[in-house]
Amino acid sequence: MLKQITFLLTLSCIALTCSGCATLLGGIIGYQSGELAAGLAIGAAVDFGGDIARGVGQMTAKENNLYRDFQKKSTFNAQRGEITLPICPFNQKRTMDIAFQLRKKFEENGWTCQQTEKTIRDHLICADHWKETWQCKTAQAEPEQSFELKIDFRSNRDTEIRIKCTDHSTEQTAAVTSQIYKWLEQIVSTPSNST
């Protein structure tokens, strides 16, 4: 009895920390039917298969489709300071390259940018995670606008880019977000910059 409880607790911990919805649903159905291990295994297989399909889609997407996918699938809310890049084809390497190109655009246009936080976590089972936070200033003299930019990439969802102006002005947030979106569009539309 103690071995079964330990086994079930171990499987439950694995399912909760390293899985998606299908694993949890499989575990619930399996528990109700008295086949917890089988339910968890089937759910995990569905999640794992979905992750593999998404990863293959990210890697095999061609450069010439980046701009089209950016236009069709990215989202943009200037008032809230939010931009998203679609999970396919914007994998971690492409997103990191776009962030590098965006910093160059900032410099070319007189904006300053300093990275204040960077996190990279590559997992074998769970979603990969890369996150950067930048403290930035626009080139406008009156008034010079300070803002924080966060890029949050996870391999199992769309990349989120958030802009937060220090004065919390909706108009300034909208102006900064709109400009960043235009620069992202330019970066993605240039084939030599899209990897």
Over residues 51-108, the pLDDT tens digits come to 544 554 545 555 557 888 899 999 999 999 999 999 888 888 899 999 999 999 999 9
Report how far apart, in Å, the C-alpha atoms of 150 and of each of 13, 88, 110, 195 are. 31, 20, 20, 22
Whole-number pLDDT of residue 72: 92
Examine the domain organization and report whether 136 and 49 are in the same domain.
no
- Which among 3, 1, 191 has a CA at the least distance from the CA of 97? 191
Distance CA 90, CA 84 (A): 10
Query: Alpha-carbon distance 37 to 64, whole Å?
Result: 44
- 75 and 83 in contact (C-beta within 8 Å)? yes
Residues 42, 99, single domain; the answer is: no
Q: Is 62 helix (H, G, I), strand (E, B) or coil?
A: coil
Residues of the chain under the 50 pLDDT cut:
52-53, 56, 58, 193-195
Domains identified in the chain, total number:
2
Q: How far apart are CA 156 and CA 23, in angstroms?
A: 15
Phi, psi of 153 (to 5 degrees): -105, 135
End-of-domain residue from the set 13, 33, 60: 60
Q: What's the pLDDT score for residue 155?
A: 81
> Residue 17's pLDDT is what?
54
Same domain, residue pair 67 and 54: no
> Is residue 142 located within the same domain as residue 159?
yes
Determine the pLDDT at residue 81: 95
- Please indicate, yes or no, whether residues 70 and 109 belong to a single structural domain of this protein: yes
Instruction: Please check whether residues 141 and 166 belong to one and the same domain.
Output: yes
Task: Answer for the pair 24, 15: CB distance below 8 angstroms, yes or no.
Answer: yes
- Residue (of 58, 72, 85, 103) closest to 195 by Cα position: 58
27 and 82 within one domain: no
Same domain, 154 and 83: yes
Are 91 and 39 in a shared domain? no
- Residue 173 CA to residue 137 CA, distance in Å, equals 12
Model pLDDT, residue 36 = 62
The range of the structural domain enclosing residue 48 comes to 2-60
Q: Which of 19, 37, 60 represents a domain boundary (last residue)?
A: 60
Q: What is the pLDDT of residue 195?
A: 45
Same domain as 95, residue 175: yes
